Amino acid sequence: MIRDQATLNILLDSVARFVRERLVPNEELVAETDEIPADIVAEMKALGLFGLTIPEAYGGSELTMEEEVLTMLELGRASPAFRSLIGTTVGIGSQGILFDGTEEQKQKYLPRLATGELIASFALTEPGSGSDAASLTTQAIRDGDHYIVNGTKRYITNAPQAGIFTLMARTNPAEKGAGGISAFILEAGTTGLSFGKRDRKMGQKGAHTCDVVFDNCRVPAANLIGGVEGRGFKTAMKVLDKGRIHIASICVAVAERMLADALRYAVERKQFGQPIAGFQLVQAMLADSKAEIYAARCMVIDAAQRRDAGLPVSTEASCAKMFASEMCGRVADRAVQIFGGAGYMSDYGIERFYRDVRLFRIYEGTTQIQQVVIARNMVRELR
Ligand code: COS
C-alpha cells in the first residue's frame, strides 16, 4: 500500500541519491576497513533511515510494507553491509517490540530506535540451534522482578554496535518446544553480557557478527515482550515473515546492481572485434538475469501488498525469499562470468558482491527452511 505517492517519491529520490553519491563510492573503503565510516552512519540517521518502519507516533515514518520494499529496492543497490546496519534495526531487531510489545515498551524503546540512537539486534540463533529455532537452550528464569539469563547466541548481526537485543530465551525449561520460549528486550551494558570475537566472514565486510554470551544477566521482568511468557517463538516467526520479504527486496536490488554493472562491462568490453554484448551466449546470461530479476521483483511487491492488505504471508514471504535469494546467486555467478578474468579480480568489485550475496540463501531461514515452510503451509491449507 502506498499512502502518499508524492512523499514516497521524495524519499525514494533521496535514498537513490545517497546510494549513488555516498554509499557506492565508499564500498571499497568499507570492504578494506571492515567499518562503515562514522560520517556515513550519521548521514543515515539524518536521512531518517533508522525510523522507516517505526510508527509516526514514536518518531518514525511508518512505511507500509510496500513502501519499505520500494525503499529497499533503492538502498540495496550498494554493498549489503550498508543495508545490514539499518535493515537489522528497522527489521528483525525492532519489530518484535512493535508487534507484541506493551505500550510502555514501545514508548521506552521505539523513539530511540527511530533516530538511530539505539541499534537493535535479533538474538535467536545459538551454537546448537539454527534452522531448528524451537530447540534453543538459552534460559531466562524468573527471580522476583527479574529474569536471570544464561546461554550463548551465535552469529548475531550488529551485536557489537547494538543498544538493545530482541532475545529469545526459554522461560520454561520443562517445555522443550516452541511453547517454552519467551522474547525479551535486553539492553547492552547489562551486567554479565559479553561478546565473542568479531566473526571472520566470507563477505559483507562492514557488517559485524559475533557470539553474545549471557552469564547470569538480570533482565527486568518489565522487559518480557508483551508481558506474557511462552509467546516468544511466535513473535520471532512473525518478525521473520516480515524480515524475509525485506531480505527478498534486497536480493532484487543487489541483483539489479550486479546486472547493471555486467551490462555496462559487456557493452564496453570488446573481443573478436566487437562488444561482447553482441554475442548471443553473453546475451543469454543478460536476458536470463533480467527475466529472473523481474519475476523476483513482482513476487516481492505482491507479497508486500498482501501483507499490507492484512492477509497471511508466511507462504508468500518464504516463496519470495527463496526465489529472490537463489536468483541473486545465479545473477552474481553470471555477472562474474560476463566480466571474465576481471570478474575474479578484486579491483572490479563484482567478486565482492559474489561473496556478499551468498549469505542471502542462508540467513533469516535457509532455502531449505523456506521450502519446508511453503510445503507445510500447502498441506495445512489442503486439510
Ligand atoms: N507466524 C506465527 N506463528 C507461527 C509462524 C508464523 N509464521 N510459524 C509458526 N508459528 C507458530 C505455530 O503456529 C506453532 O504454534 P502452536 O503451537 O500454537 O500451533 C508454533 O509457532 C510452533 O511452530 P512449528 O510447529 O511450525 O515449529 P517448528 O519447530 O516445527 O519449526 C520452522 C518451524 C522450521 C519454520 C522454524 O524453526 C524456522 O523458521 N526456522 C528457521 C529459523 C531462522 O530463520 N533462523 C534464522 C535466524 S535469524 S538470521
Atom of ligand 1 nearest to the CA of 178: 22
Q: Give me the number of domains the chain comprises.
A: 3
Distance between Cα 201 and ligand 1 center (Å): 27
CA atoms within 13 A on the CB side of 105: 25
Q: Which three cell numbers stand for residue 147?
A: 529474569
Across the strands, what pairs with 212?
A: 153, 195
Query: Do strands 164-170 and 120-123 pair parallel, antiparallel, or not at all (unpaired)?
Result: parallel
Asked whether residue 194 falls in the same domain as residue 262, the answer is no
Q: Which three cell numbers stand for residue 346?
A: 578484486
**Residues 179 and 252 grouped into a single domain:** no
Instruction: Classify burial at 236, counting beta carbons within 10 Å of its beta carbon; exposed 0-12, middle 13-18, buried 19 or more.
Output: buried
- Are both 224 and 238 inside the same structural domain? no
Catalytic residues: 364
Residue (of 244, 259, 260) closest to 328 by Cα position:
259
Q: Are residues 103 and 136 in the same domain?
A: no
Q: What is the pLDDT of residue 1?
A: 81
Report the b/e string of 285-313 with b at 16+ CB within 10 A: bbeebeebbeebbebbbbbbbbbbeeeeb
Q: pTM score, two decimals?
A: 0.97
Residue the block writes with cell 539499518: 86
What is the sign, positive or negative, of the torsion defined by CA atoms of 91, 202, 334, 259?
positive
- Domain end, chosen from 115, 150, 182, is at 115
Task: Give yes or no: residues 240 and 189 share one domain.
Answer: no
Last residue of a domain, one of 228, 255, 280: 228
Beta bridge partners of 149: 140, 217
CA 295 – CA 251 distance, rounded (Å): 12
Distance in Å, CA 146 to ligand 1 centroid: 27
* pLDDT at position 212: 98
Nearest alpha carbon, ligand 1 atom 21: 234
Of the candidates 83, 90, 87, 89, the one whose C-alpha atom is nearest the C-alpha of residue 36 is 83
At residue 309, φ and ψ (nearest 5 deg) are -80, 0
Q: What is the CATH number of the domain that holds 290?
A: 1.20.140.10
Asked if residue 348 and residue 251 are part of one domain, the reply reads yes
Q: What is the pLDDT of residue 355?
A: 98
Element (H, E) at 184: strand 181-187
78-107 exposure pattern, b = at least 16 Cβ within 10 A, e = fewer: bbbbbbbbbbbbbbbbbbbbbebbbeebbe
Query: Residue 157 forms beta bridges with which residues?
Result: 209
Query: Are residues 252 and 370 both part of a single domain?
Result: yes
Same domain for 188 and 161:
yes
Could you tell me the mean pLDDT of each successive run of 10 residues in the chain, 383 residues long? 91 97 97 96 96 95 96 97 91 95 98 95 97 97 98 96 96 96 97 97 96 98 98 97 97 98 98 98 98 98 98 98 98 98 96 98 97 98 93
Q: How far is the CA of 129 from the centre of ligand 1 (A)?
A: 13
Tens-place pLDDT, residues 159-217: 999 999 999 999 999 999 999 999 999 999 999 999 999 999 999 999 999 999 999 99
Probe residue for ligand 1, chosen from 237, 239, 369, 380 as the CB with the greatest number of ligand atoms within 8 Å:
237
Instruction: Give, using CA atoms, the residue closest to atom 43 of ligand 1.
Output: 365
User: Whose Cα sits closest to atom 24 in ligand 1?
Assistant: 178
Tracing cell 539486534 back to the chain, one arrives at: 121
Question: What pLDDT, on the 0 to 100 scale, is given for residue 109?
Answer: 97
The CATH number assigned to the domain holding 37 equals 1.10.540.10
Q: Are 110 and 64 within one domain?
A: yes
> Which residues does ligand 1 sit against, CB inside 6 Å?
122, 124-125, 131-134, 178, 233-234, 237-238, 240-241, 314, 363-365, 369, 372-373
pLDDT of residue 3: 87
Of ligand 1's listed atoms, the one at least distance from the Cα of 155 is 49
Ramachandran angles phi, psi of 312, nearest 5°: -65, 140
250 and 368 housed in the same domain? yes
- Boundaries of domain holding 103: 5-115
CA-CA-CA-CA torsion sign (233, 235, 239, 242): positive
Last residue of a domain, one of 115, 138, 164: 115
Ligand 1 mean position to 233 CA, how many Å? Answer: 7
The CA distances from residue 166 to 18, 68, 203, in Å, are 29, 21, 25
Confidence at residue 154, expressed as pLDDT on a 0 to 100 scale: 98
| Nearest C-alpha neighbor of 63 from the set 74, 52, 47, 76 | 52
Which CATH number goes with the domain that contains 142?
2.40.110.10
- Check whether residue 210 and residue 281 sit in a common domain: no
- In this structure, the answer to whether residues 129 and 244 fall within a common structural domain is no
